[in-house]
Amino acid sequence: MEKQIINSTNAPAPIGPYNQAVQAGNMLFISGQIALNPESGQMEQSDIIAETHRVMQNLRNILSEAGMDFSDVVKSTIFIMNMGDFGQINEVYGKYFTGYFPARETVQVAALPKGANVEISMIAVK
């Protein structure tokens, strides 16, 4: 099976020893994305709604680099700092999908990189 590294200049550069995504055959595995602005490298955290939009935009840009979009996503994992933010995160997340939603789990965690309040990873299939 052919493996290809996917990195988009329209998404934040990795902050550790990993890639934005790896495509293996027709499957795309996207590393967890936080609300880093790809141009400034700064976190966008004015509120949880804006932070979640930035995360979803980063994911959309990585999907696009691989020739995919949210309709190709089959699995998402959402990591959040505060389960009290779940409703707002869920509302924003849902706006990026049309038709069928992917499988998903949401987990409250003790800490996320760069002080993020939400991180989302995805698996897509073309």
Look at residue 1 in the predicted model and tell me its pLDDT: 78
Question: Residue 9: exposed, middle, or buried by beta-carbon count in 10 A (0-12, 13-18, 19+)?
Answer: exposed
Alpha-carbon distances, residue 53 vs 59, 72, 92, 124 (angstroms): 10, 19, 7, 19
Residue at token pair 């309709």:
71
- Total domains in the chain come to 1
pTM above 0.75, yes or no: yes
Average pLDDT of the chain to the nearest whole number: 97
- Per-residue pLDDT, 5: 97
Give the pLDDT of residue 77.
98
Q: Would you call 78 exposed, middle or buried from its count of C-beta atoms within 10 A (0-12, 13-18, 19+)?
A: buried
**What average pLDDT does the segment 29-33 reach?**
98
Q: 100 exposed, middle or buried (CB, 10 Å; 0-12, 13-18, 19+)?
A: exposed
Furthest-apart CA atoms within the chain: distance in Å:
42
The strands making up 73-80's β-sheet, listed across from edge to edge, are 3-6, 21-24, 27-33, 118-125, 73-80, 103-108
Which residues, at least 6 apart from 68, have a Cβ–Cβ distance to it below 8 Å? 28, 124, 126
* Domain limits for position 89: 3-125
CATH number, domain with residue 13 = 3.30.1330.40
